[in-house]
Amino acid sequence: MRTIRYHSYGNPDVLTVEEVPVPSPGPGQVLIRSEAIGVNFVETQRRRGTGPFPPPLPATPNGDVVGIVEEVGAGVTTVAVGDRVAAPVMGGAYADLVLADATFLAPLPDGIDAAQASILASPAQTALCVLKTARIQPGDTVLVHAAAGAIGHLMTQLVRHYGAGRVIGTVGSPAKADFAREHGTDVVVDYSTDGWTDEVLKATDGEGVDVILDSVGGDILLAGLDVLKPFGRLVFYGASGGTLPQVPAMRLIPMKHVVGCGLDQWWQHRPDDIRSGLQELIGHVTEGRLKVHVHAELPLAEAADAHRIIEDRAQLGRILLRP
Ligand SMILES: NC(=O)c1ccc[n+]([C@@H]2O[C@H](COP(=O)([O-])OP(=O)(O)OC[C@H]3O[C@@H](n4cnc5c(N)ncnc54)[C@H](OP(=O)(O)O)[C@@H]3O)[C@@H](O)[C@H]2O)c1
């Protein structure tokens, strides 16, 4: 079978196609034949070795795999050979066949397409955990950073369902503004320009926002504190800007709450919430409240191009690889 591997950190060219033996599932694992693989931004940081968790080498990127179970390991009772599933796959997702932990498999409703199924593996779950962490109150004004991104465009669709009144979305270039509006953003602000926080204040009659959902970090997070109302909540869940923010504690005295959110922690400590959240998400998908926009579908062997698109900050929504 084919897998995509890199033996050194670097630019997308380090991703190469290799032939490897089909792996066997260990206890608690399943072997899945991939139908589609969702490509996540954080893998570009890991590939460069610059992210918070650079992988040991050689490495195959993680990703959101949709496919059919071909084999189950010892002790797996929740799925059977032939079932169609979506799975967050760690250490080996860009491949024809992948191993996944059976605990994390998302059940799939009949007829769901591969793109919609792929968001159930991790991006929609991340969005939901972030929204629940934010404890949005009815009518809150919510600022969603990177609103045209894979998770961002899911977040802007879901946020009103979880209480938001007004949704302000940031994007890194004017070309993304219409897309963000089409996916639930009321006001779009380009945070690559100086004075983006003034735009947010203008849009809120000088009051600021109740909630910020921040996947960018760095200076964007610090500037966001200027437009967060007293008693407001900022949820930090990613550092796509490349810099981990250092928040001076004094900036929090005006009753500003900053809280982190990691999907893995929800899985570890709140698995029941995750399972019920998955049912909520399946409802949103099947009833048409949550749609995924696929920016590009590329053959598995063109994984490097998928990473290039993401590093050029060109993607609207999500990118899929097709084995
Ligand atoms: N906490 C968790 O459990 C968890 C789980 C999954 C993902 N995440 C995080 O969630 C975030 C979104 O993930 P995603 O896969 O949906 O990615 P994405 O939003 O599709 O892509 C990242 C976006 O970040 C923005 N960005 C801002 N500064 C950037 C820079 N210097 N370089 C590149 N991009 C920059 C870009 O949008 P603009 O061009 O519009 O600025 C880009 O499209 C990532 O930070 C990821 O690490 C967290």
Dig out the tokens for 135 from the structure: 């404890």
Q: What are phi and psi of 7, to 5 degrees?
A: -105, -10
> Ligand 1 mean position to 213 CA, how many Å?
12
Residue range 255-267, pLDDT digits in tens: 999 999 999 999 9
Ligand 1 site, residue 241, Cβ cutoff 6 A: yes
| pLDDT for res 245 | 85
d(CA 258, CA 266): 17
Please state the pTM of the whole predicted model. 0.97
Q: What is the full DSSP assignment across 74-109?
A: TT--S--TT-EEEEEE-S--SBSEEEEEGGGPEE--
Class of domain 125-265: alpha beta
Q: Which residues of the chain are in CATH 3.90.180.10 domains?
A: 2-121+293-322
Token output for 4: 């995509």
Q: What is the pLDDT of residue 269?
A: 97
Banded pLDDT at 73 (limits 50, 70, 90): very high
- State yes or no: pLDDT of 52 exceeds 90: no
Query: Partners of 117 in the beta sheet?
Result: none
Query: For the chain, where do the domains classified as CATH 3.40.50.720 start and end?
Result: 125-265
Fold of 2-121+293-322: Quinone Oxidoreductase; Chain A, domain 1 (3.90.180)
Tokens of 123: 């991006």
pLDDT at 51: 76
> Distance from the CA of 156 to the center of ligand 1, in angstroms?
14
Instruction: For 196-227, write each residue's pLDDT tens digit.
Output: 999 999 999 999 999 999 999 999 999 999 99
Instruction: Please compute, for residue 118, the number of CA atoms within 13 A of its CA located in the half-sphere on the CB side.
Output: 27
pLDDT of residue 283: 96
**Residue 307, ligand 1, Cβ within 6 A:** no
Ligand 1 contact via 61 beta carbon (within 6 Å): no
Which pLDDT band, with edges at 50, 70 and 90, does 155 fall under? very high
Residue 91 pLDDT > 90: no
Q: Are 175 and 190 in contact (CB under 8 A)?
A: no
Q: pLDDT at position 15, please?
A: 98
The C-alpha atoms of residue 190 and residue 145 are separated, in whole angstroms, by: 10
Ligand 1 centroid distance, CA of 275 (Å): 25
pLDDT confidence band for 175 (50 / 70 / 90): very high
The closest-lying atom of ligand 1 relative to the alpha carbon of residue 264 is 3
CA 80 from chain centre, in angstroms, equals 28
- What is the amino acid identity at position 43? E
Average the pLDDT over 226-242 and give the result: 97
Average pLDDT over residues 3-18: 98
Radius of gyration of the chain (CA): 20
Distance from the first to the final alpha carbon of the chain: 10
Q: How far is CA 30 from CA 5, 98, 100, 282, in A?
A: 21, 8, 5, 22
CB atoms within 10 A of CB 247: 14
The pair of structure tokens assigned to 253 is 């005295």
Q: Which atom of ligand 1 is nearest to the CA of 239?
A: 45
Rounded mean pLDDT of the chain? 97
